[in-house]
Amino acid sequence: MAKFIGAVDINMERCKGCDLCVVACPCSVLSLQPKEVNNRGYHYAFAANAEACIGCAACATVCPDGCITVYRVTKQSE
Amino acid sequence: MNIDDIKRAENVVCTKPRLLNDNNMHYCPGCSHGVVHKLVAEVIEEMGAEHIAIGIAPVGCAVFAYNYIDIDWIEAAHGRAPAVATAAKRLNPDRLVFTYQGDGDLAAIGTAETIHAANRGENIAIIFINNAIYGMTGGQMAPTTLEGMKTSTTPYGRRVDLNGHPLRITELLAQLPGTCYVTRQSVHTPATVRKAKAAIRKAFENSMKGLGTSVVEIVSTCNSGWKMTPDKANKWMVDNMFPFYPPGDLKNTAAEK
* Domains of chain A by start residue, with CATH: 4-74 (3.30.70.20)
Among A17, A24, A73, select the one facing B190 at the smallest CB separation: A24
- Tell me the residues of chain B between 33 and 92 that have a Cβ less than 8 Å away from chain A: 33-35, 38
What is the reported pLDDT for A24?
94
Of the pLDDT bands very low, low, confident and very high (cuts 50, 70, 90), residue A2 is low
The predicted model gives B218-222 an average pLDDT of 95
Answer yes or no: is pLDDT of A68 > 80. Answer: yes
What's the rounded Cα separation, in Å, for the pair B17 and B39? 9
What's the rounded Cα separation, in Å, for the pair B139 and B214? 28
Instruction: Give how far B12 is from chain A: nearest CA, Å.
Output: 4
Among B1, B30, B31, select the one facing A5 at the smallest CB separation: B1
Answer yes or no: is pLDDT of A78 > 70. Answer: no
Please report whether residue B158 resides in a domain: yes
Answer yes or no: is pLDDT of B251 > 70. Answer: yes
Contact flag A16-B30 (C-beta cutoff 8 Å): yes
Please report whether residue B212 resides in a domain: yes
Please report whether residue B16 resides in a domain: no
What is the reported pLDDT for B204?
96
Question: How many domains is chain B built from?
Answer: 1
Please report whether residue B257 resides in a domain: no
Please report whether residue B195 resides in a domain: yes
**Within chain A, how many helices (H) and strands (E) appear?**
2, 4
From chain B, the residues in CB contact with A76 under 8 A are 1
Summarised one tens digit per residue, pLDDT across range B38-63 is: 999 999 999 999 999 999 999 999 99
What is the reported pLDDT for B205?
95
Answer yes or no: is pLDDT of B250 > 70. Answer: yes
Summarised one tens digit per residue, pLDDT across range B114-143 is: 999 999 999 999 999 999 999 999 999 999
Contact flag A65-B34 (C-beta cutoff 8 Å): yes
Among B5, B20, B190, select the one facing A61 at the smallest CB separation: B190
**Domain of B117, in residue numbers:** 25-252
- CATH number of the domain within which B219 lies: 3.40.50.970
Say whether residue A68 is in contact with chain B using an 8 A CB cutoff: yes
Q: Say which amino acid occupies A70.
A: V
What is the reported pLDDT for B83?
96
Closest-CA residue to B126 (of B106, B110, B112, B111): B106
Contact flag B12-A19 (C-beta cutoff 8 Å): no
Contact flag B13-A70 (C-beta cutoff 8 Å): yes
Please report whether residue B209 resides in a domain: yes
Residue of A nearest to B228 (CA): A18
The predicted model gives B169-187 an average pLDDT of 95
Please report whether residue B139 resides in a domain: yes
What's the rounded Cα separation, in Å, for the pair B200 and B91? 23
Say whether residue A27 is in contact with chain B using an 8 A CB cutoff: no
Between chain A and chain B, the number of residue pairs with CB atoms below 8 A apart is: 98
The predicted model gives A45-56 an average pLDDT of 92
Answer yes or no: is pLDDT of B180 > 90. Answer: yes
Q: Say which amino acid occupies B132.
A: A
Answer yes or no: is pLDDT of B167 > 80. Answer: yes
Summarised one tens digit per residue, pLDDT across range A10-35 is: 999 999 999 999 999 999 999 999 99
Closest-CA residue to B218 (of B252, B243, B182): B182
What is the reported pLDDT for A1?
56
Please report whether residue B4 resides in a domain: no
Q: What is the mean pLDDT of chain B?
A: 93
What is the reported pLDDT for A4?
87
Summarised one tens digit per residue, pLDDT across range B238-248 is: 999 999 999 99
Summarised one tens digit per residue, pLDDT across range B70-106 is: 999 999 999 999 999 999 999 999 999 999 999 999 9
